[in-house]
Amino acid sequence: MRISDEVTKYLLELLEESHGDIQIQRNELASSIGCVPSQINYVITSRFTPEHGYIVESRRGGGGYIRITRIKTEKSTAIMDIINAIGSKLDALSAEMIVESLVQRGMILENAGKLMMSAISERSYTDIPVNLRCLLRASILKNMLLTQI
């Protein structure tokens, strides 16, 4: 398992235990996990975004912290926000993170998530020219999400 996946898993466990709101100190977390603080930053900026259902606040300095809060919204609003945030192109990793987040938040059923993962996987696009894959993936995922509203 990659370190970024370990950090993500750890933060998601903390969020689950604390009912969706945590406050961490980046250096302490990096030390306890055994990584550099910049890896914590990478995970937070790439995997804990509003599109994934989180608000992140940070305060720098000696007593600084990072607060991650899971956004509590209605299913239809959350899905429409994600559809609007996707844009015209979407790479496979970002698409997978969106679907995983929706399943974790209970916005879509696990079986629907598995179908979506199959439809957005890189394997599904092997016969599609590389320059068109992200365009097609974005369109397919947006249309699949529309059926979940």
Looking at residue 95, its pLDDT comes to 94
Distance in angstroms (rounded) separating the CA atoms of residues 33 and 43: 13
Tokens matching residue 92: 């496979």
Distance in angstroms (rounded) separating the CA atoms of residues 43 and 12: 11
Amino acid at 85: A
Q: How many CB atoms lie within 10 A of CB 11?
A: 22
Nearest to 65 by CA among 35, 33, 22, 10: 22
Domain positions in the chain: 3-70, 75-146
Looking at residue 61, its pLDDT comes to 74
Looking at residue 108, its pLDDT comes to 95
Q: Does the global pTM surpass 0.75?
A: no
Distance in angstroms (rounded) separating the CA atoms of residues 35 and 124: 34
CATH classification code of 3-70: 3.30.56.130
Are 32 and 67 in contact by the 8 Å Cβ rule? The answer is no
pLDDT tens per residue, the chain (149 residues)? 688 889 998 998 999 899 889 999 998 999 998 999 899 999 999 889 887 888 999 888 766 789 999 888 888 988 998 899 899 999 998 899 899 989 988 899 999 999 999 999 999 999 999 999 999 999 999 999 999 99
